[in-house]
Amino acid sequence: MAVYTEIPDDEFARFMAGYDLGAVTSMKGIAEGVENSNFLLVTERGQFILTLYEKRVDPADLPFFLGLMEHLAEHGITCPLPVRNREGTALGHLAGRPAAVVTFLPGIGVRRPRAEHCIALGGALASLHLAGRGFAITRRNALSVGGWRPLFDNCLGRADAVQPGLGAEIARELDILEAAWPADLPTGVIHADLFPDNVFFLNDRLSGLIDFYFACNDMLAYDVAICINAWCFEPDASLNVTKARGLLAAYQAVRPLSAGEAAALPLLCRGSALRFLLTRLYDWLNTPDNALVVKKDPLEYLKKLRFHRSVAEASAYGLAT
């Protein structure tokens, strides 16, 4: 979440008049995240999130995102629900951007996940993967292996300004992963961005999942790899095997990984580290200085990528064989 676009008062008033949410009592921009403009909206009917979808989001994907949240909620996943306006539609237009209002989900994202948080996350991720079955709309993952080189090309010549030699290291990694990326693992709906700030807890119990705007169809085990990278490393970039073991055991208790998925896990972790290195690098180099957004350090994921290069088997992550 972030704020890139300011909303004129008169346009905002006209937009909200289309909803049956009562008078607006406050609206505040949310700085966390990097993708869309988000605001905490408080009305007489309660709290909501107003999202303006920025230029990186393809408007054609929005029915997938909004429909997926409704589908998951119907199948037992606690997540925000799109609020339909008086015309019965969930998607509108505001300040030159597609826009939607979704329900507010109470809870707090943990900044330093403990092992028990990772265990709860593992079970929730597997439940999400099972709940996604039967969702009628599909969306290709534009940030999977086929999208990494174009993203890198947009940073070409500037990566070394972040760290000397970074460009050549990424280029070598791309060559390796493009040649070795698996194509025969189980697929389905994945969240693709289930970082700790997108998982809410209340009294140390997982209370819901948010921010489905990277969700897509891809390998389910790739989503697991993303979560290992996001949840199981310490600030010094060392893997906490206790956290990873708990995450994987809880996931497998709900949806067991196949032998092929287990064998591919080190490569998938390596690929997901490169994906977030590249998107963070792009944002680091291209985010306007006046944007209300917290830029994230791409070098965090370079360190994780280097760790995964040393891993030969999934047992290094604590996966029981």
- Evaluate if residue 128 carries a pLDDT over 50: yes
Pair 42, 98: CB distance under 8 Å: no
pTM, to two decimals: 0.92
DSSP three-state, residue 17: helix
Q: Kindly state the average pLDDT of the residues 30-57.
A: 86
Question: Which residues, 6+ apart, have CB-to-CB distance to 264 below 8 Å?
Answer: 182, 185, 221
- Evaluate if residue 205 carries a pLDDT over 60: yes
- Evaluate if residue 34 carries a pLDDT over 60: no
Token duo for residue 41: 């909206």
- Tens digit of pLDDT for each residue in 259-283? 999 999 999 999 999 999 999 999 8
Phi, psi for residue 54 in degrees, rounded to 5: -85, -175
Q: How confident is the model at residue 162 (pLDDT cuts 50, 70, 90)?
A: very high
pLDDT for res 56 = 73
What DSSP string runs through 182-221? --SS-EEEE-S---GGGEEEETTEEEEE---TT-EEEEHH
Q: How confident is the model at residue 50 (pLDDT cuts 50, 70, 90)?
A: very high
CATH number assigned to the domain covering 115-317: 3.90.1200.10
Q: Kindly state the average pLDDT of the residues 30-46.
A: 84
Pair 180, 216: CB distance under 8 Å: no
In whole angstroms, what is the distance from residue 306 CA to residue 170 CA?
A: 11
Q: How confident is the model at residue 5 (pLDDT cuts 50, 70, 90)?
A: confident
Domain boundaries, the chain: 9-103, 115-317
In whole angstroms, what is the distance from residue 224 CA to residue 263 CA?
A: 13
pLDDT for res 1 = 42
pLDDT for res 167 = 96
Q: Kindly state the average pLDDT of the residues 49-73.
A: 92
- Evaluate if residue 96 carries a pLDDT over 90: yes
Q: Which residue has the higher pLDDT, 289 or 49?
A: 49
CATH number assigned to the domain covering 9-103: 3.30.200.20
Residue 239 buriedness (CB in 10 A; 0-12 / 13-18 / 19+):
buried
pLDDT for res 290 = 63
For the chain, what is the mean pLDDT? Answer: 94
Through-space distance between the first and last CA atoms of the chain, rounded to whole angstroms: 38
Pair 207, 77: CB distance under 8 Å: no
pLDDT for res 265 = 98
